[in-house]
Amino acid sequence: MGLIGLGSMGRHHARVIREVEGMDLVAVADPYGDKHGVAGDLEVLPDVQALIEAEIDAAMVAVPTYLHEEVALALAQAGVHTMVEKPIAATAESGERVARAFEDAGLVGAVGYVERCNPALLAMRQRIEAGELGTVFQITTSRQGPFPARIADVGVVKDLATHDIDLTAWIAQSHYAVVSGQVTHRSGREHEDMVVATGRLDNGIIVSHTVNWLSPLKVRETVATGEKGAFIANTLTGDLTFVANGDVRSEWDRVSAFRGVSEGDSTRFALARREPLRVEQEGFRDALWGRDSEIVSMADGVHTLRVIEAILESAATARTVTL
Protein backbone atom coordinates (compact mmCIF):
# COMPACT_ATOMS: atom_id res chain seq x y z
CA MET A 1 0.00 0.00 0.00
CA GLY A 2 0.96 3.57 -0.68
CA LEU A 3 -0.58 6.63 1.00
CA ILE A 4 -0.68 10.14 -0.39
CA GLY A 5 -1.77 12.92 1.94
CA LEU A 6 -0.48 12.92 5.53
CA GLY A 7 -2.90 15.44 7.00
CA SER A 8 -5.75 15.03 9.48
CA MET A 9 -7.21 11.95 7.73
CA GLY A 10 -4.03 10.58 6.21
CA ARG A 11 -2.37 10.14 9.61
CA HIS A 12 -5.23 7.86 10.72
CA HIS A 13 -5.11 5.88 7.48
CA ALA A 14 -1.38 5.36 7.97
CA ARG A 15 -1.95 3.87 11.42
CA VAL A 16 -4.84 1.65 10.33
CA ILE A 17 -3.15 0.36 7.16
CA ARG A 18 -0.21 -0.74 9.31
CA GLU A 19 -2.61 -2.60 11.62
CA VAL A 20 -4.64 -4.45 8.97
CA GLU A 21 -3.56 -8.01 8.25
CA GLY A 22 -2.44 -8.40 4.65
CA MET A 23 -1.61 -4.72 4.14
CA ASP A 24 1.91 -3.34 4.23
CA LEU A 25 2.46 0.43 4.10
CA VAL A 26 5.61 0.78 1.99
CA ALA A 27 5.46 4.37 0.69
CA VAL A 28 3.97 7.73 1.74
CA ALA A 29 3.81 11.05 -0.06
CA ASP A 30 2.92 14.64 0.79
CA PRO A 31 4.44 17.75 -0.79
CA TYR A 32 3.93 19.63 2.48
CA GLY A 33 5.81 17.09 4.58
CA ASP A 34 4.79 14.99 7.57
CA LYS A 35 3.57 17.42 10.23
CA HIS A 36 1.94 14.63 12.27
CA GLY A 37 5.03 12.41 12.22
CA VAL A 38 3.37 9.30 10.79
CA ALA A 39 5.95 8.28 8.16
CA GLY A 40 8.17 6.50 10.66
CA ASP A 41 11.13 4.97 8.79
CA LEU A 42 9.60 5.74 5.38
CA GLU A 43 10.85 8.59 3.20
CA VAL A 44 8.20 11.27 2.63
CA LEU A 45 7.90 11.36 -1.15
CA PRO A 46 7.01 14.61 -2.95
CA ASP A 47 4.12 13.58 -5.22
CA VAL A 48 1.98 10.84 -6.73
CA GLN A 49 4.52 9.97 -9.43
CA ALA A 50 7.13 9.21 -6.80
CA LEU A 51 4.56 7.08 -4.98
CA ILE A 52 3.86 5.12 -8.18
CA GLU A 53 7.58 4.58 -8.74
CA ALA A 54 7.70 2.81 -5.36
CA GLU A 55 5.91 -0.07 -7.19
CA ILE A 56 2.86 -0.17 -4.93
CA ASP A 57 -0.10 -2.49 -5.56
CA ALA A 58 -2.74 -0.15 -4.17
CA ALA A 59 -3.07 3.38 -2.81
CA MET A 60 -5.04 5.44 -0.34
CA VAL A 61 -5.68 9.03 -1.45
CA ALA A 62 -6.19 11.52 1.39
CA VAL A 63 -5.26 14.80 -0.29
CA PRO A 64 -7.55 17.88 -0.38
CA THR A 65 -10.69 17.41 -2.49
CA TYR A 66 -9.61 19.65 -5.35
CA LEU A 67 -6.62 17.34 -5.98
CA HIS A 68 -8.58 14.07 -6.02
CA GLU A 69 -9.04 13.88 -9.79
CA GLU A 70 -5.42 14.65 -10.67
CA VAL A 71 -4.02 12.13 -8.19
CA ALA A 72 -6.59 9.39 -8.88
CA LEU A 73 -6.19 9.59 -12.66
CA ALA A 74 -2.42 9.25 -12.32
CA LEU A 75 -2.89 6.13 -10.20
CA ALA A 76 -5.42 4.66 -12.64
CA GLN A 77 -3.07 5.24 -15.56
CA ALA A 78 -0.33 3.46 -13.63
CA GLY A 79 -2.57 0.45 -12.89
CA VAL A 80 -2.81 1.05 -9.14
CA HIS A 81 -5.96 -0.01 -7.27
CA THR A 82 -7.16 2.98 -5.26
CA MET A 83 -9.46 4.17 -2.52
CA VAL A 84 -10.11 7.92 -2.53
CA GLU A 85 -11.28 9.75 0.57
CA LYS A 86 -14.77 11.20 0.19
CA PRO A 87 -15.98 12.89 -1.92
CA ILE A 88 -14.63 11.17 -5.02
CA ALA A 89 -13.77 14.53 -6.59
CA ALA A 90 -14.58 18.23 -6.47
CA THR A 91 -17.44 17.94 -8.99
CA ALA A 92 -19.66 15.17 -10.33
CA GLU A 93 -18.17 15.67 -13.82
CA SER A 94 -14.70 15.25 -12.38
CA GLY A 95 -15.81 12.20 -10.39
CA GLU A 96 -17.26 10.65 -13.53
CA ARG A 97 -13.85 10.87 -15.23
CA VAL A 98 -12.22 9.19 -12.24
CA ALA A 99 -14.80 6.40 -12.06
CA ARG A 100 -14.56 5.77 -15.80
CA ALA A 101 -10.76 5.59 -15.69
CA PHE A 102 -10.77 2.86 -13.04
CA GLU A 103 -13.56 0.92 -14.75
CA ASP A 104 -11.82 1.06 -18.14
CA ALA A 105 -8.56 -0.09 -16.56
CA GLY A 106 -10.25 -3.00 -14.75
CA LEU A 107 -9.02 -1.74 -11.38
CA VAL A 108 -10.62 -1.76 -7.94
CA GLY A 109 -11.77 1.79 -7.24
CA ALA A 110 -13.46 2.79 -3.99
CA VAL A 111 -14.49 5.91 -2.08
CA GLY A 112 -13.83 6.32 1.63
CA TYR A 113 -17.25 6.91 3.17
CA VAL A 114 -16.32 5.67 6.61
CA GLU A 115 -19.80 6.24 8.11
CA ARG A 116 -21.02 3.14 6.28
CA CYS A 117 -18.67 1.23 8.58
CA ASN A 118 -20.13 2.62 11.80
CA PRO A 119 -21.42 -0.34 13.86
CA ALA A 120 -24.83 1.30 14.47
CA LEU A 121 -25.43 1.94 10.76
CA LEU A 122 -24.17 -1.49 9.72
CA ALA A 123 -26.59 -3.10 12.17
CA MET A 124 -29.45 -0.82 11.07
CA ARG A 125 -29.01 -1.74 7.41
CA GLN A 126 -28.77 -5.46 8.19
CA ARG A 127 -31.93 -5.39 10.30
CA ILE A 128 -33.86 -3.39 7.71
CA GLU A 129 -32.79 -5.89 5.04
CA ALA A 130 -34.02 -8.68 7.32
CA GLY A 131 -37.48 -7.05 7.36
CA GLU A 132 -37.45 -5.96 11.01
CA LEU A 133 -38.78 -2.49 10.10
CA GLY A 134 -41.19 -3.61 7.40
CA THR A 135 -41.68 -1.03 4.67
CA VAL A 136 -39.44 1.99 5.26
CA PHE A 137 -41.28 5.31 5.14
CA GLN A 138 -38.67 7.92 6.02
CA ILE A 139 -34.97 8.40 6.79
CA THR A 140 -33.75 11.51 8.62
CA THR A 141 -30.24 12.54 9.61
CA SER A 142 -28.78 15.19 11.91
CA ARG A 143 -25.05 16.00 11.72
CA GLN A 144 -24.20 19.10 13.72
CA GLY A 145 -21.24 20.39 15.68
CA PRO A 146 -18.51 23.02 16.01
CA PHE A 147 -16.49 24.29 13.06
CA PRO A 148 -13.60 22.00 12.02
CA ALA A 149 -10.48 24.09 11.45
CA ARG A 150 -9.10 21.43 9.08
CA ILE A 151 -11.60 22.32 6.32
CA ALA A 152 -10.58 25.04 3.86
CA ASP A 153 -11.60 24.07 0.32
CA VAL A 154 -15.30 23.12 0.54
CA GLY A 155 -18.47 24.00 2.44
CA VAL A 156 -20.54 21.95 4.84
CA VAL A 157 -22.52 20.34 2.01
CA LYS A 158 -19.55 18.68 0.31
CA ASP A 159 -17.68 18.03 3.56
CA LEU A 160 -20.42 16.69 5.86
CA ALA A 161 -23.76 16.35 4.08
CA THR A 162 -22.05 14.06 1.56
CA HIS A 163 -21.85 11.44 4.37
CA ASP A 164 -25.60 11.61 4.94
CA ILE A 165 -26.48 11.43 1.25
CA ASP A 166 -24.29 8.36 0.80
CA LEU A 167 -25.44 6.49 3.91
CA THR A 168 -29.12 7.24 3.26
CA ALA A 169 -29.03 5.87 -0.29
CA TRP A 170 -27.07 2.86 1.02
CA ILE A 171 -29.48 2.10 3.86
CA ALA A 172 -32.50 2.52 1.57
CA GLN A 173 -30.82 0.78 -1.39
CA SER A 174 -32.21 3.47 -3.67
CA HIS A 175 -30.95 6.56 -5.47
CA TYR A 176 -32.28 10.07 -4.94
CA ALA A 177 -35.09 11.25 -7.23
CA VAL A 178 -35.71 14.86 -6.12
CA VAL A 179 -34.06 17.21 -3.61
CA SER A 180 -34.60 20.67 -2.17
CA GLY A 181 -32.08 22.59 -0.09
CA GLN A 182 -31.57 25.73 1.96
CA VAL A 183 -28.11 26.98 3.01
CA THR A 184 -26.73 29.87 5.07
CA HIS A 185 -23.36 31.64 5.30
CA ARG A 186 -22.91 32.74 8.91
CA SER A 187 -19.18 32.35 9.58
CA GLY A 188 -17.88 34.85 7.02
CA ARG A 189 -16.32 32.16 4.83
CA GLU A 190 -16.75 31.72 1.08
CA HIS A 191 -18.60 28.43 1.48
CA GLU A 192 -21.90 27.60 3.18
CA ASP A 193 -21.81 26.48 6.82
CA MET A 194 -25.41 25.27 7.34
CA VAL A 195 -27.79 23.25 5.19
CA VAL A 196 -31.25 21.77 5.53
CA ALA A 197 -32.15 19.40 2.69
CA THR A 198 -35.21 17.31 1.97
CA GLY A 199 -36.00 14.89 -0.79
CA ARG A 200 -37.49 11.66 -2.07
CA LEU A 201 -35.74 8.51 -3.24
CA ASP A 202 -36.59 6.46 -6.31
CA ASN A 203 -38.34 3.88 -4.11
CA GLY A 204 -40.61 6.48 -2.49
CA ILE A 205 -38.82 6.92 0.84
CA ILE A 206 -38.80 10.57 1.94
CA VAL A 207 -35.63 11.97 3.50
CA SER A 208 -34.44 14.96 5.50
CA HIS A 209 -30.92 16.13 6.41
CA THR A 210 -29.92 18.83 8.92
CA VAL A 211 -26.21 19.56 8.73
CA ASN A 212 -24.01 22.33 10.08
CA TRP A 213 -20.70 23.08 11.75
CA LEU A 214 -21.87 26.06 13.81
CA SER A 215 -23.53 24.21 16.68
CA PRO A 216 -21.94 23.86 20.13
CA LEU A 217 -23.86 20.60 20.51
CA LYS A 218 -22.34 17.70 18.58
CA VAL A 219 -25.06 15.46 17.13
CA ARG A 220 -24.72 12.45 14.82
CA GLU A 221 -28.07 10.70 14.46
CA THR A 222 -29.82 8.70 11.76
CA VAL A 223 -33.45 7.65 12.14
CA ALA A 224 -35.26 5.19 9.85
CA THR A 225 -39.02 5.06 10.37
CA GLY A 226 -41.19 2.29 8.94
CA GLU A 227 -44.38 0.33 9.38
CA LYS A 228 -43.13 -1.54 12.47
CA GLY A 229 -41.42 1.31 14.32
CA ALA A 230 -38.16 3.26 14.11
CA PHE A 231 -34.43 2.52 14.25
CA ILE A 232 -32.33 5.26 15.86
CA ALA A 233 -28.58 5.16 15.24
CA ASN A 234 -26.26 7.34 17.31
CA THR A 235 -23.05 7.24 15.31
CA LEU A 236 -21.07 9.13 17.95
CA THR A 237 -21.47 6.25 20.39
CA GLY A 238 -22.16 3.43 17.92
CA ASP A 239 -25.51 2.70 19.60
CA LEU A 240 -28.61 1.38 17.81
CA THR A 241 -32.07 1.53 19.36
CA PHE A 242 -35.37 0.16 18.05
CA VAL A 243 -38.65 1.72 19.19
CA ALA A 244 -41.56 -0.50 18.22
CA ASN A 245 -45.02 0.70 17.38
CA GLY A 246 -47.29 0.17 20.40
CA ASP A 247 -50.30 -2.10 20.25
CA VAL A 248 -52.07 -0.83 23.36
CA ARG A 249 -55.55 0.34 22.37
CA SER A 250 -57.10 3.35 24.03
CA GLU A 251 -60.63 3.15 25.35
CA TRP A 252 -61.16 6.86 24.84
CA ASP A 253 -63.29 7.00 21.71
CA ARG A 254 -61.82 10.19 20.28
CA VAL A 255 -58.23 8.98 20.65
CA SER A 256 -58.91 5.43 19.51
CA ALA A 257 -60.38 6.79 16.28
CA PHE A 258 -56.95 8.14 15.30
CA ARG A 259 -55.36 5.60 12.99
CA GLY A 260 -51.73 6.39 13.84
CA VAL A 261 -49.22 4.65 16.09
CA SER A 262 -48.23 4.83 19.73
CA GLU A 263 -44.86 4.33 21.39
CA GLY A 264 -44.14 0.71 22.18
CA ASP A 265 -41.20 -1.17 23.63
CA SER A 266 -37.70 0.22 23.18
CA THR A 267 -34.70 -2.06 22.61
CA ARG A 268 -31.07 -0.99 22.68
CA PHE A 269 -28.91 -3.53 20.88
CA ALA A 270 -25.55 -4.72 22.11
CA LEU A 271 -23.11 -4.21 19.24
CA ALA A 272 -19.47 -5.04 18.69
CA ARG A 273 -17.78 -1.63 18.41
CA ARG A 274 -14.92 -1.93 15.95
CA GLU A 275 -13.12 1.16 14.64
CA PRO A 276 -14.97 2.18 11.43
CA LEU A 277 -11.77 3.20 9.61
CA ARG A 278 -10.30 -0.24 10.23
CA VAL A 279 -13.47 -1.91 8.94
CA GLU A 280 -13.24 0.32 5.85
CA GLN A 281 -9.63 -0.66 5.11
CA GLU A 282 -10.39 -4.34 5.67
CA GLY A 283 -13.21 -4.02 3.15
CA PHE A 284 -10.83 -2.51 0.60
CA ARG A 285 -8.32 -5.29 1.25
CA ASP A 286 -11.01 -7.94 0.76
CA ALA A 287 -12.01 -6.33 -2.55
CA LEU A 288 -8.37 -6.49 -3.65
CA TRP A 289 -8.29 -10.17 -2.70
CA GLY A 290 -11.46 -10.86 -4.69
CA ARG A 291 -13.61 -11.54 -1.65
CA ASP A 292 -17.16 -10.27 -1.12
CA SER A 293 -16.79 -6.73 0.15
CA GLU A 294 -18.95 -3.75 1.06
CA ILE A 295 -16.72 -1.06 -0.44
CA VAL A 296 -18.31 2.16 -1.69
CA SER A 297 -18.08 2.02 -5.47
CA MET A 298 -16.90 5.00 -7.46
CA ALA A 299 -20.27 4.98 -9.24
CA ASP A 300 -21.93 5.47 -5.85
CA GLY A 301 -19.49 8.27 -5.17
CA VAL A 302 -20.51 10.02 -8.38
CA HIS A 303 -24.23 9.71 -7.58
CA THR A 304 -23.66 11.24 -4.16
CA LEU A 305 -21.87 14.20 -5.77
CA ARG A 306 -24.74 14.68 -8.21
CA VAL A 307 -27.15 14.87 -5.27
CA ILE A 308 -24.83 17.32 -3.47
CA GLU A 309 -24.69 19.56 -6.54
CA ALA A 310 -28.48 19.37 -6.88
CA ILE A 311 -28.88 20.52 -3.25
CA LEU A 312 -26.59 23.50 -3.88
CA GLU A 313 -28.45 24.28 -7.13
CA SER A 314 -31.76 24.14 -5.28
CA ALA A 315 -30.47 26.48 -2.59
CA ALA A 316 -29.23 28.95 -5.22
CA THR A 317 -32.42 28.92 -7.33
CA ALA A 318 -35.09 28.31 -4.67
CA ARG A 319 -36.40 25.40 -6.72
CA THR A 320 -36.72 21.66 -6.19
CA VAL A 321 -34.31 19.78 -8.42
CA THR A 322 -35.09 16.47 -10.14
CA LEU A 323 -32.13 14.16 -10.63
Give dist(CA 10, CA 83) in Å, integer. 12
The pLDDT score that the predictor gives to residue 190 is 86
Confidence bin at 129 (pLDDT 50/70/90): very high
Q: Which pTM was predicted?
A: 0.91
Mean of pLDDT values over 213-232: 96
Confidence bin at 151 (pLDDT 50/70/90): low
Confidence bin at 187 (pLDDT 50/70/90): confident
- Contact assessment for residue 81 and residue 103, using Cβ atoms and an 8 Å cutoff: no
Mean of pLDDT values over 124-147: 96
H-helix or E-strand containing 261? none
Confidence bin at 247 (pLDDT 50/70/90): low
The packing angle between helices 276-288 and 10-19, to 10°, is 60
Which domains can be identified in the chain, with CATH numbers? 2-114 (3.40.50.720), 115-273+296-322 (3.30.360.10)
The pLDDT score that the predictor gives to residue 249 is 52
Closest CA to 279 of 2, 5, 57, 19: 19
Mean of pLDDT values over 218-237: 96
- Collect all residues with Cβ–Cβ distance below 8 Å to 204 and sequence separation of at least 6: none
Confidence bin at 277 (pLDDT 50/70/90): very high
Mean of pLDDT values over 150-168: 87
Give dist(CA 38, CA 13) in Å, integer. 10
Cis peptide before 119 (omega within 30 of 0): no
In the predicted model, is pLDDT for residue 250 greater than 80? no
The pLDDT score that the predictor gives to residue 259 is 57
